[in-house]
C-alpha cells in the first residue's frame, strides 16, 4: 500500500518537470528570437549612410521594425504560454481523475473479492459441518439459516455487479409500467425481515401509492437501501412511504453513526464508501448507493440525505406519482 502513493508522487514529479521544461524552452525561444531581432536591426543600423538625406527616416523605420518584431514575438510567446498552461491544466485534471479512478477500481476489486469469498467460505464451512457432525435440529436450522443469508448476500452482490455493468454500457432494458409502490415496498420490507431476523424493521407505508417505473429496478433500489440501513446501524431501522398530491416521499432511517456533511454529496459516487472508522469495517463495495441514485434519476426522482435524530441518517427519495 505504501508503494502506491510513492508511484503517484513519482508520476506527479515527472509531470511537473516536463511542464517546467516546456515553459523554460518557450522562454528560451523568446529570448533567442529577441536576440536575433536585435542583431539583425543592429546590422541594419551599421549599413546606413550618415550622409543620406533619409538617414533619420531609416533609423526610425528600423526602430519601428524592431518594436513590431518584439511585440510579435511577445504576443506569440504569450499565446503559446497560455495554450500550454491551459493544456497542462486539462492534462493534470484528466491524469488526477484517472489515477483516482484507478485507485477506486483497485479498492473495489479488493472489496468485491472479499465480498465474494466470504459468503462462499461461510456456506462451505456450514455445509461441511452439517455433513460431518450430527447436530440437533435447532442447531442445524441455525446453520442452514446462516447459509441462506450468505447466499442471499452473494446473490445481491451479483445483481449489483450485473446491473452496474449494464447501466454503464446502456444495455439494461427499462420496462416502465404502473406500479403499486406501496405493495412493492412492503414486499421488500417483509423479505428483509426474513433475511435479517435479528433486526426489527419498523414500517409506515401508506397504501395505494402508484407510480410509473420498472419493477425490478425498484426492487434492487429498495433492497440496497434496506441492506445499507441494516449494515450501518446496530439498532432497529424505519422505512416509510408517504403519499402527496403530485409526488411521494420514501424514507429509510437508521440509527447508525451518521454521515458527515462533507461525505453526503459523495456517497452516491461509484465505488465510494464513507471513510470514518465506524464504517470501514462494514462490508460493501460502494456500488449499492450508486445504483440507487441511477435508478431514482432514471425515474425522474431525487434522492438526498438528512440527519436522523439523535443519531443516524435518513435516505429520502422524492418520486412523482403516476398520472
Query: 184-194 as b/e, with b when 16 or more CB fall inside 10 Å?
Result: bbbebbeebee
Query: 283-299 as b/e, with b when 16 or more CB fall inside 10 Å?
Result: ebbbbbbbbbbbbbebb
Domain boundary among 59, 86, 106: 106
* 159 and 202 fall within a common domain: no
* 189 and 131 fall within a common domain: no
Largest Cα–Cα distance of the chain, in whole Å?
124
160, exposed or middle or buried, with CB in 10 Å at 0-12, 13-18, 19+? buried
Q: Is residue 134 part of a domain?
A: yes
The grid cell for 266 is: 459523495
Q: Is residue 59 part of a domain?
A: yes
Q: Is residue 65 part of a domain?
A: yes
* 18 and 65 fall within a common domain: yes
Domain count of the chain? 3
Q: Is residue 111 part of a domain?
A: no
**Interatomic CA distance for residues 72 and 319, integer angstroms:** 60
Kind of pairing, strands 201-205 and 313-320? unpaired
Q: Is residue 143 part of a domain?
A: yes
CATH assignment at residue 236: 3.30.565.10
Containing structural domain, residue 148: 116-169
* 45 and 131 fall within a common domain: no
* 149 and 87 fall within a common domain: no
Please give the pLDDT value at position 277: 39
* 247 and 310 fall within a common domain: yes
Please give the pLDDT value at position 60: 82
Domain boundary among 53, 80, 106: 106
Domain boundary among 58, 75, 106: 106
**Interatomic CA distance for residues 143 and 131, integer angstroms:** 11
* 146 and 19 fall within a common domain: no
Q: Is residue 256 part of a domain?
A: yes
Q: Is residue 72 part of a domain?
A: yes
* 101 and 236 fall within a common domain: no
* 70 and 16 fall within a common domain: yes
**Interatomic CA distance for residues 262 and 176, integer angstroms:** 35
* 198 and 282 fall within a common domain: yes
Q: Is residue 62 part of a domain?
A: yes
**Interatomic CA distance for residues 145 and 211, integer angstroms:** 35
* 182 and 144 fall within a common domain: no
* 256 and 218 fall within a common domain: yes
Task: Tell me the average confidence (pLDDT) per consecutive run of 10 residues in the chain, 323 residues long.
Answer: 61 81 84 82 76 77 82 81 83 79 67 69 84 84 81 75 69 78 92 82 90 88 88 85 91 87 83 56 68 89 89 90 76
Please give the pLDDT value at position 1: 45
Kindly report the three-state secondary structure assignment for every residue of 21-68: HHHHHHHHHHHHHHHHHHHHHHHHHHCCCCCCCCHHHHHHHHHHHHHH
Amino acid at each position: 500500500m505504501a508503494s502506491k502513493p510513492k508511484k503517484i508522487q513519482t508520476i506527479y514529479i515527472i509531470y511537473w518537470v516536463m511542464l517546467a521544461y516546456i515553459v523554460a524552452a518557450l522562454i528560451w525561444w523568446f529570448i533567442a528570437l529577441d536576440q536575433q531581432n536585435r542583431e539583425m536591426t543592429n546590422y541594419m543600423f551599421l549599413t546606413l549612410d550618415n550622409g543620406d538625406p533619409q538617414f533619420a527616416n531609416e533609423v526610425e523605420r528600423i526602430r519601428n521594425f524592431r518594436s513590431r518584431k518584439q511585440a510579435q514575438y511577445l504576443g506569440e510567446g504569450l499565446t503559446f504560454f497560455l495554450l500550454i498552461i491551459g493544456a497542462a491544466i486539462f492534462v493534470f485534471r484528466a491524469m488526477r481523475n484517472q489515477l483516482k479512478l484507478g485507485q477506486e477500481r483497485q479498492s473495489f476489486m479488493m472489496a468485491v473479492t472479499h465480498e465474494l469469498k466470504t459468503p462462499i467460505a461461510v456456506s462451505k464451512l456450514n455445509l461441511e459441518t452439517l455433513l460431518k457432525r450430527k447436530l440437533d435440529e435447532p442447531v442445524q436450522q441455525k446453520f442452514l439459516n446462516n447459509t441462506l443469508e450468505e447466499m442471499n448476500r452473494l446473490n445481491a452482490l451479483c445483481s449489483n455487479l450485473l446491473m452496474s455493468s449494464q447501466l454503464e454500457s446502456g444495455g439494461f432494458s427499462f420496462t416502465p409500467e404502473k406500479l403499486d409502490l406501496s405493495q412493492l415496498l412492503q414486499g421488500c420490507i417483509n423479505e428483509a425481515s426474513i433475511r435479517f431476523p435479528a433486526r426489527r424493521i419498523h414500517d409506515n407505508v401508506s397504501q395505494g401509492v402508484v407510480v410509473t417505473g420498472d419493477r425490478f429496478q425498484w426492487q434492487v433500489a429498495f433492497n440496497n437501501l434496506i441492506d445499507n440501513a441494516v449494515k450501518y446501524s446496530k439498532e432497529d431501522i424505519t422505512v416509510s412511504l408517504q403519499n402527496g398530491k403530485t409526488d411521494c416521499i420514501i424514507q429509510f432511517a437508521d440509527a447508525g453513526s451518521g454521515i458527515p456533511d462533507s461525505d453526503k454529496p459523495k456517497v452516491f459516487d461509484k465505488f465510494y464508501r464513507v471513510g470514518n472508522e465506524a464504517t470501514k469495517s462494514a462490508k460493501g463495495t460502494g456500488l449499492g448507493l450508486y445504483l440507487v441514485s441511477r435508478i431514482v434519476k432514471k425515474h425522474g426522482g431525487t434522492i438526498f440525505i438528512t440527519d436522523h435524530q439523535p443519531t443516524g441518517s435518513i435516505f429520502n427519495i422524492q418520486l412523482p406519482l403516476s398520472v
